[in-house]
Amino acid sequence: MTKITNRGFGRRMAAKLLLHGCCAHCTAYSFKYWQEQGFEVSVYWYNPNIHPFTEHQNRLEAMVKLSQELSFELVTEPLYQMAEYFKKVAEKPDERCRTCFDMRLGQTAVYAARYGYEYFSSSLFISPHQKHQEAVFSAEAFAKETGVKFAYADLRKRYSDSRHITKPLDLYRQQYCGCIYSEYERFGKTDPPA
């Protein structure tokens, strides 16, 4: 894995990077970071892991507001593929985080390949709450599979910077990662059912 920057290409047009956005708060600094590296950044919203549907819509609305504030192109998937998410997670509930990363980062890489992006990344890499290395392994696998380069930067130390960007915008702030398992872990009193 290499840290990829796009500086030093002279007058060459900026390389296109598709940034998977997990939520507005993590996306804010991640977007600015990749833009500062010289990339032309679009943000991709594909998060079938977020439940219930009203939570998904609240987070999507926050992302739309952020896209307007920071002036970035936001690409959204028209379908909320909740059933597909549950089908895949039910096969191996103990590996739900890796399955979730595979679904979201895989779809991001496929979209990037289809629409001519040279690179992809995710705002997941700024969150100290994610299983970071699992997400990296997932992204690397889909980079090999699709031929789209994985732009990696460990931005976890900048997590508070992202929150400072979004706090004045008064965006919806979620209280758990996204899936019903994580909601249960956050608010439940016992371990979630397997």
Domains and CATH numbers, the chain: 16-187 (3.40.50.620)
**Residue 60 identity:** L
Q: How confident is the model at residue 178 (pLDDT cuts 50, 70, 90)?
A: low
Q: What is the pLDDT of residues 7-31, one digit of tens each?
A: 444 445 799 999 999 999 999 999 9
Average pLDDT, the chain: 87
Q: What is the pLDDT of residues 59-107, one digit of tens each?
A: 999 999 999 999 999 999 888 888 888 888 888 888 888 998 999 999 9
- 24-36 helix and 159-166 helix, angle to the nearest 10 degrees: 110
d(CA 169, CA 172): 9
d(CA 39, CA 33): 9
Backbone phi and psi for residue 20, each to the nearest 5 degrees, phi listed first: -65, 125
The pLDDT value given to residue 79: 81
| Mean pLDDT to the nearest integer, 178-183 | 61
What does the block give as tokens for 169?
């915008």
Count the neighbouring beta carbons within 10 Å of the beta carbon of residue 94: 9
26 marked ligand binding residue: no
Backbone phi and psi for residue 110, each to the nearest 5 degrees, phi listed first: -65, -45
Q: Is the pLDDT confidence value at 175 over 80?
A: no
177 marked ligand binding residue: no
The pLDDT value given to residue 2: 33
22 marked ligand binding residue: yes
100 marked ligand binding residue: yes
Residues 103-117 as b/e (b if ≥16 CB within 10 A, e otherwise) read bbbbbbbbbbbeeeb
